[in-house]
Amino acid sequence: MKSLGSIRRDFAPWNDPNAKPYIQFDKVIKKFGDFTAVNNLSLTIFEREFFALLGASGCGKSTLLRMLAGFEEPTAGRILLDGQDLRGIPPYKRPVNMMFQSYALFPHMTVEKNIAFGLKQEGMPAPDIEKRVAEMLRLVKLEQFAKRKPHQLSGGQRQRVALARSVAKRPKVLLLDEPLGALDKKLREETQFELMDLQQELGLTFVVVTHDQEEAMTMADRIAIMDKGEVMQVATPAEIYEAPTSRFVAHFVGNVNMFEGKVAERAANTTRITGATGAQIVVENAAETANGADIVFAIRPEKIKVSSKKPADAVNALEGEVYDVAYLGDMTVYHIKLDDGQMVRASALNASRVTEDPLTWNDRAWVSFRPDAGVVLTR
Ligand code: ATP
């Protein structure tokens, strides 16, 4: 069985035509004065999905989340949850909770009181509250910290209290706006896995807003890449990375090489492309292109092989010179300046400690890649 990326996904309701959507944004427009923050956006999220909204600052992701929570109403269009139109329903009546950052904890209350706060307000009987709080403390592994105040906790622990508090009322959907923004890199990474475990254990639907691509790739079942109030692509992390549908998405996530060119000749499975400077390459996956069409071939650095001699069996091999080399420990990154002037970035995993055929600055070098190593983009 083949799959994009190396992970098999057993949970994939978006591929099932009979699966019922859980959250639906239907042609949603949000204007602030004459500024359009969300532009005719449609999007479907499934129950139990871990969904990430990823985009640069100001692209409208928080606005989308705030409309789902009920803090803002769309200017036009509908938002449905489990088939119900949410228009006019106040935030506290929606089965949705928003997790705010750790500093939103009550400083004068202990951890357990912080977690119990919403339940008390709701009028839950005291014995039930006690049981629920104990369950939440176990879930976020803070049993020993129940009597501490927020200032006696680390940043990561405070974040977990905030999380426990926001899921204590058992919302159906948890919205997280840059949930790990206040944590340092190492703690962020640990907490990402904790969040995924928690979401699995509770069986909730998570919608997380982030501008950190690695975070979205790690945690999400699917990612929506946003730009200027519009969704550019919705797909699994592996599809976003391996099969972007536009230059914007290819550039937004990870590093990428772009070969500009024209379709020169189409065969059954392969397409020959003439680059802007005459170089010829042969690629697969160019289904929707016509002869003579302007296209760009996008290929990730790790799909490109660098060698001192022309590989005998390579379909695509281009010659140039080593312009830069960076040794990063786990891998080495090469910048190769091709003879036609184009700069190519290639990376090689340092799977062994010793290299047989090392390259250095100004060496002649060949870059080679398979016809199926990249994607052809028309927009
Ligand atoms: P960030 O990552 O910086 O939070 P974002 O993608 O979440 O960015 P939003 O907060 O959704 O962006 O904002 C989208 C756009 O709408 C921005 O240009 C912002 O200035 C504008 N905007 C948001 N709220 C309001 C408001 N209440 N009044 C006017 N403009 C607003």
Q: Which two tokens stand for residue 179?
A: 């949930």
> How close is the Cα of 65 to the center of ligand 1, in Å?
11
pLDDT for the residue 188: 82
330-336 contacts at long range (C-beta below 8 A, 24 or more positions apart): 331/302, 333/301, 334/306, 334/359, 334/365, 336/306, 336/365, 336/367
CATH number given to 13-95+171-251 = 3.40.50.300
Where the chain has pLDDT below 50, the residues are none
pLDDT for the residue 120: 94
> How close is the Cα of 24 to the center of ligand 1, in Å?
21
Specify the DSSP class assigned to residue 300: -
Q: Which residue matches tokens 């797909």?
A: 235
Judged by DSSP in three states, 307 sits in: strand
pLDDT for the residue 290: 81
pLDDT for the residue 101: 59
The count of other CB atoms within 10 Å of the CB of residue 343 is 12
Kindly report whether the global pTM for this prediction surpasses the value 0.75.
yes
Strands (DSSP E) found in the chain: 23-32, 35-45, 50-55, 76-81, 84-85, 96-99, 173-177, 205-210, 222-227, 230-235, 257-266, 271-275, 280-283, 294-299, 305-307, 316-327, 331-338, 343-349, 364-369, 374-377
The count of other CB atoms within 10 Å of the CB of residue 49 is 23
Q: Where are the domains of the chain?
A: 13-95+171-251, 255-377
| pLDDT digits 0-9 by tens, 169-214 | 889 999 998 888 777 788 788 888 888 888 988 899 999 999 889 9
| pLDDT digits 0-9 by tens, 340-370 | 889 999 999 998 988 888 899 999 999 999 9
pLDDT for the residue 116: 95
Sign for the CA dihedral angle at 277, 278, 284, 289 comes to: positive
> How close is the Cα of 226 to the center of ligand 1, in Å?
13
Which atom, in ligand 1's list, is nearest to the CA of 72? 27
Which atom, in ligand 1's list, is nearest to the CA of 35? 30
Q: Which of 39, 62, 176 to mutate to test the pocket of ligand 1 (most atoms within 8 A of CB)?
A: 62
List pocket residues of ligand 1, CB cut-off 6 Å: 32, 35, 37, 55, 57-63, 211
* Structural class in CATH, domain 255-377: mainly beta
